[in-house]
Structure 1
Amino acid sequence: MSAAALPAPPAMPAPATRLAWLDALRGIGSLAVVGEHMLPWFLPELRPFWFNLGIYGILVFFLVSGYIIPVSLERHGDVRAFWVSRIFRLYPLYLSVIVVMLAVSWWVPVREAVPRDGSAVAAHATMLLDVVSVGGVADTMWTLSYEMVFYLLVTALFLIGAHERSGSLSVLFAAGAVVVGLVASGAVLVGVWPAYVSCAVFVVGLACVMGGRLRTFCACALGVMAVVLLAFSSRVPWLGIAVVAVMFAGTAIHRWERGAGPLWPVAVTTALVVIAPVWAIESGWWWVRADVWLTTIALAGATFAGGMLLRGRRVPRVLVWLGLISYSLYLVHHPLLKYFVAVSGDLRAAEVPYQLVMIALAMALMLGLSALTYRYVEKPMQQLGRRVSDRGRRHRPGSGMAGRPPRHDEVLGHEERQVPGGVRHGDTVG
């Protein structure tokens, strides 16, 4: 995310090469998150404390999502097609993980952060978990909240023709993170009602956006709701706003690459995000100390810049493969680690050779299961989503997007098959 580390805009590489480096970054991000969650349970002595391995991976995911997701929407020229692809991309595996975790909750109970009432159902239905202060059934699901917020904002901005102001938006959100960090110690809107209200608005609003009736008005209403939730009902408001700033910075980098915008907003955003938690009232976690936070951001930015710099070269196939299964790996690894430890017992005091063997076994299980869920859950549902989207296009004379017809190209098809929603975010987030 550091502007100084980014290379000058080069000649555009071939689409396959360009997408390969994005896959590689997602692979790196997913491994970092797995490492953050695995090391404390298996080999705590190796866990780094001079930067946060998990936040580093998540920031890489968010930069990738910010870089590519708005472009996917713009190339579609069709909001309905965009949301069909997002829904079929995110929800099948997400719901599958929830069902499995609830089914085996008699063995490994669902964590206490998940409310035992209807608000949990409402929050999981929208994926707006963290921005309504509801814990996810799987610990890593919190990042999907910010992917969803970003989608809602990007949709509204695209419909009103403000989607090219990514640099200004990244600076605005970064400044908001600093301000909110100074004045808010946590959520202002508390209780179960933010989850219920946001679910109702989300369902009705998204139905209108996809159906075409009152599309722009409903998209703007969803965007406003997303910002309000982000600032007033998030579990950690400054962090949520900073995350959205990072995603818009990723978009600004893409526009700079295309010669459609300057790079200085990325530098300003980086500086503001770096100082956002320094005076934050709710700061107290080890990873928001100034030195750790700065190092984590610098490493994430350097990784993304390195990916851009090397994108014209061949990418290791293992990283590309990890990028393809990154959404599966991101969602399934933490539940699987819980089940693994429930069987193996506490490994923290075991002999190092035994710990290493168990790490290798756990990694094999996580990668194997992620490959299976990608092959038999993600990929078929993405293909189904494309068929649904194509069928919808054939039945409509135009896209309904600012008078522009839908556009198809080889690059977009590849992006929609491979870009995670979450990591990514979820990616992911995604």
Structure 2
Amino acid sequence: MSAAAPPAVVTAVPVPRLAWLDALRGIGAMAVVAEHLLPWFLPALRPYWFNLGVYGILVFFLVSGYIIPTSLERHGDVRAFWISRFFRLYPLYVAVIVLVLALAWWVPVREAVPRDGSAVAAHATMLLDVVSVGGVADTMWTLSYEMVFYLLVTALFVTRGHDRSGLLSMLFAAAAVVVGLVASGAVLVGGWTAYVSCAGFVAGLACVVRGRFRTAAACALGLMGLAAVLLSSRVPWLGAAVLAVMFAGTAIHRWERGTGSLWPVAVTTALVGIAPLWAIESGWWWVRADVWLTTIALAGATFAGGMALRRRRLPRVLVWFGLISYSLYLVHHPVLKYFVEITGDLRRADLPYQLGMAALALTVVVAVSALTYRYVERPAQALGRRLSHRSGHGLQGGGEARVAGQDAGDDRVLGHEEGQVPDRVRDHVGQGDAVR
């Protein structure tokens, strides 16, 4: 009699630990695409009880704050961190700039972009909005705050202050309230801010990456970014509020790991909620108390829902949208502009035609984003990973703190979203419809 066959072992397929973050990115990306698509194609369906674009921004910045600092801590190497960030962000960013400039004969570059060297300097650093320079693609303004966050996180890491995210989130939220009450706009104005920040950015990062005067350079860059947000950004209170939200995301991660408290997040939420209510520069419809607070509540609930489902299998389409979210963010706005240039004004067309054109435009946006992700983002990320792994240089005098249990393959930078109204339709939908 033959021996009985051993019972089959059924192994559960593990759920990727950070798939929920990609799903959140997917939700945020599609919210911002909808914010830009609806005014052009289906204005009757655009919600006004909350703002889709701001909702998407807040979700993205919470995700960024949650994962980016721990990425640096896991590497324990600021050189590897910045190499990976460069190859994650710049290749697609430069490709979109080239596309927009190449087609400027057909759809002109935005009037908000200076026609001088200050635009080149601001685009080179991505510090566009914090030096009051418009991006060639409307959605690029949020990259400014992502970059400032990187600079601040690096400075905190080299000075061993990176575990104070809860305190920092509250301080930035309080700054948003105070600055909103006293500042009507940028204090430092003029193209010189773009030139100075570009020179400091290049010199400082060269020191950080090469390891010479690393701590001093990182601190100088962090102070420069902070000064730019508070003194030369277009809307200082909004910049401070964005940084508060990002550090709140970090505080949530500390709490989840048992190394921090959650109450600073509650304080930050309350302060960010009231920040625009009495701000001097707050005349947009989306900062009305009911709209602003509802938008914040929805973004927070979405992030909390994602955390609650983080160990469950999530819809693949949302995770996939999250993977291509950076492409969706940078590509969708120019593509929608070109689409409208071809089709003409669709806002007064019959509803079936509007629905058909909206579906077609969305299909084109997703297809182009998938292609740029496949042929621009992924090869650049792979190259960045190879170069960062070869660096092999630990942080000098800054601690080698790492976060265990996270796969390096999960170290992705989210897309960044916004809610501006396209230039071509701004006069039709009203000034109050623009996020900026």
**TM-score, structure 1 normalization:** 0.92
Partner of 2:416: 423
Partner of 1:9: none
Partner of 1:309: 308
- C-alpha separation in 2, matches of 1:401 and 1:136: 37
2:270 corresponds to 1:271: yes
Shift of 1:390: 1.6
Partner of 2:48: 49
Partner of 2:295: 296
Query: What RMSD over aligned residues (CA atoms) do the two structures have, in Å?
Result: 1.7
- C-alpha separation in 2, matches of 1:117 and 1:259: 50
2:413 corresponds to 1:414: no
Per-residue CA deviation, residues 223-265 of structure 1 (Å, 9 max, x unaligned), is: 0001100001000100010000000000000000000000000
Shift of 1:290: 0.7
Task: Decide whether the 8 Å contact of 1:78 with 1:401 is kept in 2.
Answer: no
- C-alpha separation in 2, matches of 1:51 and 1:72: 32
2:67 corresponds to 1:68: yes
Shift of 1:17: 3.2
With over 3 angstroms needed to count, the CA separation of the structure-2 counterparts of 1:75 and 1:401, relative to structure 1, is: farther
2:246 corresponds to 1:247: yes
2:316 corresponds to 1:322: no
Superposed, 1:20-419 pairs within 5 Å as 20-393=19-392, 396=393, 398-400=394-396, 402=398, 404=400, 411-416=406-411, 418-419=412-413
- C-alpha separation in 1, matches of 2:235 and 2:52: 19
- C-alpha separation in 2, matches of 1:103 and 1:81: 33
AA in 1 matched with 2:398: A
Shift of 1:158: 0.4
Shift of 1:361: 0.6
AA in 2 matched with 1:402: G
- C-alpha separation in 1, matches of 2:397 and 2:417: 27
Shift of 1:60: 0.1
Task: Decide whether the 8 Å contact of 1:61 with 1:425 is kept in 2.
Answer: no
Shift of 1:166: 0.2
- C-alpha separation in 1, matches of 2:313 and 2:403: 26
Per-residue CA deviation, residues 190-248 of structure 1 (Å, 9 max, x unaligned), is: 01111000000000000000100000000000000011000010001000100000000
Shift of 1:312: 1.5
State the 4+ residue runs in structure 1 displaced beyond 4 angstroms: 13-16, 407-410
Per-residue CA deviation, residues 391-412 of structure 1 (Å, 9 max, x unaligned), is: 221xx4x44363539x697734
AA in 1 matched with 2:207: C
Shift of 1:310: 1.1
With over 3 angstroms needed to count, the CA separation of the structure-2 counterparts of 1:16 and 1:123, relative to structure 1, is: farther
- C-alpha separation in 2, matches of 1:234 and 1:91: 22
AA in 2 matched with 1:415: D
- C-alpha separation in 2, matches of 1:392 and 1:171: 36
With over 3 angstroms needed to count, the CA separation of the structure-2 counterparts of 1:220 and 1:33, relative to structure 1, is: same
With over 3 angstroms needed to count, the CA separation of the structure-2 counterparts of 1:15 and 1:110, relative to structure 1, is: farther
With over 3 angstroms needed to count, the CA separation of the structure-2 counterparts of 1:121 and 1:16, relative to structure 1, is: farther
Task: Decide whether the 8 Å contact of 2:96 with 2:331 is kept in 1.
Answer: yes
Q: Work out the number of aligned pairs and report it.
A: 408
Shift of 1:139: 0.4
- C-alpha separation in 2, matches of 1:163 and 1:391: 25
- C-alpha separation in 1, matches of 2:198 and 2:337: 30
Shift of 1:415: 1.8
- C-alpha separation in 2, matches of 1:68 and 1:425: 20
- C-alpha separation in 1, matches of 2:270 and 2:403: 38
Shift of 1:313: 1.2
Shift of 1:311: 1.2
Larger radius of gyration: 2
AA in 1 matched with 2:413: V
Other structure's SS at 1:213 match: coil
Task: Decide whether the 8 Å contact of 2:76 with 2:399 is kept in 1.
Answer: no
Per-residue CA deviation, residues 45-89 of structure 1 (Å, 9 max, x unaligned), is: 111111110000010000000000000000000000000010000
Task: Decide whether the 8 Å contact of 2:32 with 2:417 is kept in 1.
Answer: no
Task: Decide whether the 8 Å contact of 1:153 with 1:223 is kept in 2.
Answer: yes
Task: Decide whether the 8 Å contact of 1:85 with 1:385 is kept in 2.
Answer: yes
- C-alpha separation in 2, matches of 1:329 and 1:372: 10
